[in-house]
Structure 1
Amino acid sequence: MHRTHTRPPGVGAGLNVTPLIDMVFILLIFFAVNSSFVKETGVEVDRPTAQSAERQDQAGILIAVTKDGEVWIEQQRIDIRAVRGHVERLHAESPEASALIMADKHAETGIVMQVLDQARLAGIDQVAVAATEEL
């Protein structure tokens, strides 16, 4: 006697998508971990132009100085006297990081120099001032 095994219609005929979902989540985690996020200072500044401006890799510590003399780090307005403490903390988190000062072209030179000095006193060897390249 020969038996034939037949399935009722609709039973077991589906596609198993569990491995596909697992793979999508693994790829999502991979890209999230390996992506670089754009850091912002939290304030918009109008940078000066310079003929000698060079493109620089993303700096680890961004400091903004507005035309009104406000200093911003990590989207927070800070007092000029607190720059060194903030930069020391950020430098301790990533010792190889450089600093980039994004000063408005109408910012007072004295305040920009104070910020530059405080960043260097905090232990940052490479401190640059951002400029837009002249065309």
Structure 2
Amino acid sequence: MSEKKRISISKPVSQYISSLSRSTANTDAEESNVSWSKHINRMLIDYISLLEEHTASVLKKIDPEVVQALKIITKSHSESLFLYKYGQDIHKFIFSIYFDEFGLNDMDATIKHVLIEDFTKLSLTKIESLALISYLQREQCTQ
């Protein structure tokens, strides 16, 4: 029986796959493919459930005005949200999208206030930041 491993989302998928043991001497290629598919599916399910679990706690932690401001900022930058990397500074990431969208001169006073006064003071863990980005991605896809 194979040993179950905890999946780390801080590793790229290719790194995770290469770290798994590859003892396929007693199995044919089809069984091996099924085994790899199960590993990848399990990893994706763990990833999605982890994000869902943390999304609820992040949304409780963040003021609704901040969430609304983030939705406005990222409205036309849905592709940029997919460039976020686990562990990246979420404040710098969101500010770069903000400056791309509005520039320095056209800063909306309300959004600017929410970003500077509320968002920058938020302390989010890496997984909470990823959950927030994931939430914003889903929101952009449903609009």
- Regarding TM over 0.5, the answer is no
For CA contacts below 8 A with separation 6 or more, give which structure has more relative contact order. Answer: 2
In the superposition, the TM-score normalised over structure 2's length comes to 0.25
Greater per-residue helix proportion = 2
In the superposition, the TM-score normalised over structure 1's length comes to 0.25
Larger Rg: 1
Greater per-residue strand proportion = 1
